[in-house]
Amino acid sequence: MRWILLLVLVFLPRTWAFPGETLYIPLDDRPPNWSPCTWQLVRCPPRAVYQGREGANLQALWGWLQDQPGHTLIASLDALVYGGLVQSRSSTLSLEEARHRLEELSRWRARTGGQVLAFGVIPRHPDATDRARNLALLRDLGDGYAYVEAPWDDALPGSPAVAEAATLPIPTRPGADEAGQVLLLRALNPGVRVRVLYDNPEAAPQATRYEGIPLQASIARLLASAGAIAVENRPDLVLVVYSGGDPRRGVLTVLQGLREAPVAVADIARVNRGDASLVRYLVALDIYRELAAYASWGTPGNNLGAALAQGGLFAMPLCQRAGNPVAWCEERKTLALAQAYLEYLWGEIGRPWVRARFPEPLTEEAARYVFERLQSEPTPLFSSGQIRLEALKFPWRRSFEAEWQYHLDSAPNGKH
């Protein structure tokens, strides 16, 4: 059986899309963190290793890692050490044992000769029970990383995260759940030339909610994390930062960007949900399907990072110049845009609807009822078809995130 598998691997096209060379250890199994595992860019642990809110089975995760070949590993330190983001806040693990668990990375490097890009989260205040341990681990990571950073999670007023970040000897920025996607871009397609366009330039020097620093400073740190280059001319990608207020101005900013390069839209007008007026314009004017990426599911840092990463990975000609067939690139971009639209739909309609009717933890019955409600909502038409919803479930049995099953129906269903 093994020799058959080897023959299959030998004769697979050796493109960037081949998942055998790059490993990815997500922060947890929520959709934003798990999405790269569905893109056929990376090799991930078996889904069963992650156990929802209970976190990763660490013995299984470490065992999987030590069995894997590869030349690049993108890893969440919180997953490897604590079992995930939630566990990093509540763990009573000692600093000495936390450092010992990081030796799993050293063993993988020594065996494979591969490079490690990693991120560890400065936890949300006041949830973390041992901030000092978490910070001490990040402060003394040592050498051996091709790149390592520490995004901070949800810095509302009063959070010590920004001040704590300034004490660390590694890059820091707002964010968390998008960090795996950003490091994926850094590893697989560094050097993307990005022009940033604001629908409202007055928003650039203002601090946005959950970030704790000016928006333009957050974006500068994000570009550095992704290995991207800020430019004013001849960009590979335009990142449109939509801060809200006038959706028509937002559309005009998108159209301006499209005259220069593929456009990725970070919709930061609201937190954890998109601007309905902007999205309706983009869909009605048939612009949405032409985007390189769209993100509205999280905080400003989440949306900026997800839009930049997906645009840099899948936009043409960036994706093609990395060695991928045109059809493959277009398929991945379309699937990512479809997923982003469903995330918008959940934040705008699904989450408020289910919260008004069902208590948590959510059941399969709640999933069935809200799925029936959302089937009546319009969806964008892509060149390869229209989104057709098949199922919905709650991976953590809460309303914050939903996991969709869908496909693109080649026969449009008339909802557009």
Alpha carbon of residue 415 to chain centroid: 28
Rounded to 5 degrees, what are φ and ψ at 236?
-80, -30
Number of alpha carbons in the 13 Å side-chain half-sphere of residue 339: 23
- DSSP character for 362? P
Three-state SS string over 182-213 comes to: HHHHHHHCCCCEEEEEECCHHHCCCECCCCCC
Domains recognised in the chain with CATH numbers: 15-188 (3.40.50), 190-351 (3.40.50), 352-409 (no CATH)
220 Cβ contact partners less than 8 Å away, ≥ 6 residues apart: 230
pLDDT by residue (tens digit) across 236-270? 999 999 999 999 999 999 999 999 999 999 999 99
Q: What is the pLDDT of residue 304?
A: 98
With tokens 């156990």, the residue in question is 51
Please give the single-letter amino acid code of residue 196.
Answer: V
Q: What is the pLDDT of residue 309?
A: 98
Q: What is the pLDDT of residue 18?
A: 42
Rounded to 5 degrees, what are φ and ψ at 174?
-70, 150
Q: What is the pLDDT of residue 20?
A: 62
CA-based nearest residue to 85, from 158, 35, 172, 26: 26
- DSSP character for 346? I
| Cβ burial, residue 249 (10 Å; 0-12/13-18/19+) | middle
The DSSP element (H or E) to which 369 belongs, if any, is helix 364-374
| Cβ burial, residue 51 (10 Å; 0-12/13-18/19+) | middle
* 80's tokens: 């490897």
Largest CA distance in the chain: 62
Per-residue pLDDT tens digits of the chain, which is 416 residues long = 333 333 333 333 333 444 569 999 999 999 999 999 999 899 999 999 999 999 999 999 999 999 999 999 999 999 999 999 999 999 999 999 999 999 999 999 999 999 999 999 999 999 999 999 999 999 999 899 999 999 999 999 999 999 999 999 999 999 999 999 999 999 999 999 999 999 999 999 999 999 999 999 999 999 999 999 999 999 999 999 999 999 999 999 999 999 999 999 999 999 999 999 999 999 999 999 999 999 999 999 999 999 999 999 999 999 998 888 999 999 999 999 999 999 999 999 999 999 999 999 999 999 999 999 999 999 999 988 999 999 999 999 999 999 999 988 875 444 43
Neighbouring C-beta atoms of residue 39, cutoff 10 Å: 19
Q: What is the pTM of this model?
A: 0.93
